[in-house]
Structure 1
């Protein structure tokens, strides 16, 4: 049993079972009158038949080998030129060549096959024990066309092979991400939660001033760590394709949810003016906690990057046409390159390069909008920047 490396074995199986290449070999035999045609893999050490059409019982099948030193393909490997012989007995260059003497040949044609990158792959050959008229422009043109088609097929095979390798790598990466999520969801969040609970109990005790400050630092840091873990979990859920999960809220007004976010950020930025216009004629079906997260990210972004001496304007509207939440802040225009990546993870760009954070806020906000079958869009010019969260009327009203 002849053994081949994995790649050659794949080439034998794929080429030998390709109907187009089998048809090419049949056309060659019918057109030239020659009895044997083959696509051969040729290297410095080996000559291997990948696909064969044998009408003369030459005795070589797919996967069969010839001694490379007994073939003319060995010479084609070196000079990269086709060899065409009508009759070896009458050919001045090849009449004493060993190949026709060894294999009992009279006529022969072999054209090199090159890969897309220019590398030599092998040959397309036809042979016969009788003379044949193959030194014609028509036969040469046919072989040129067929070798180009085989080359195209080989390149397609390689691209598929590379794609399969990449797909397998992506599957492994997806599995790794799932494991990473599990670590974040359990192994990290649980101990940080325990730290936060313990420091809350500590803060209820009588503490001296220094100990109280240290406990507050631990509390603030643990809360921030929990927030980062939750943000990374949201990122992972979005990137894995499942999207952010929603828990639809019942019995609560969206206006109250939005006002809670506004109150919180006014407390954090007491020197900023926030103007609000709300006209929510219809309650929408949504996850209030997630909408609050989206709104907090967008409004926080506006307060951070907008002009400090001008108000941030909020408009929230809902009616029979749908829902819109618009946050507008005066300021300089966001660069086009940054705009193109605004809702991509870890894209901080020029507008955020001086500020802390992972660059995930707007990405997660856009994922929350997508989970609600809505969208988050940004517009920016020399006067202001606005972000709009919108949901069309279909299936949003309670």
Structure 2
């Protein structure tokens, strides 16, 4: 029998009534709702643990509020719903700041007589504290199931802890960005905004994502069956996507708020392995898609190889997202007759002419592309990399193919004195 909250003690919730408009915790619930990764995190928590209900909760000394939920067991609690904190284990976690993990309540020496499991009807439970950058306790990432489940393992608790850290990082960034808007309204210096913006994104987002990536790699070595490996492939693709989004945001900040992208031009190392590696990364993330690569690099090219790899990844990711799934994506690069070119082509529906003019604008997402994920910064960063190299981007699109091409005159690096 699926557990359900005691209707006699379930409160209306923070989202109900005019009084909620003045509730100081409403902003925290809305902040979690703005995190695009939260639904994926809750889904992965349920898939990884086998639990049927997962939630992000805002917890204080006297309140427990659901900010986001995923309910496969009919628990009945929705975002904004509130439980009396004294009926939850999270009250104890708020005091201790330590996670609580229970495989089987009936056999657990600490919790088999605890009133909370009996009150809500669960047998397995995991709850990880969410600690913000300033050391304050925000709440918990938690999950329950009416049946026993093996959740008290190093792999599972480590993964859930990394997800809690990622949520905290997003909340830190949200709060920092809110503060930045207030500073802008007070006409603070643009240089201060740039430094804070990049620091928040670099420290509070990149580090947790890198930790999750390391955790996924560890779990991949321990996976025992196909189901586990499929979940880990999904997690790895999410990590790569989040890393790309963070990189694009940081580059956007540099181009619009700073001095532009830094380039390190060189022709001392071969370019082909760099391009091949960029393609292989996308092949690993999209194992069902055909990606063809053709290279003709007859001349050495002085460019920033890391930035060109980023350009190729953005273009290739765009082609995989918007191109026909049953047609190959083709990639080519050549360096001949004083011109370096890099192009990516895909089949599928053409881009309307009226939309092509805005493709390289920041945050641009054409009407026909609204259903696809992304911030709309990938092609903008591509155009900035092209501009900083003294080259240009061209796009052509018809019923046969859509092709993005980077063209640049080949120059030798300036001699250093």
TM-score (norm 2): 0.47
TM-score (norm 1): 0.49
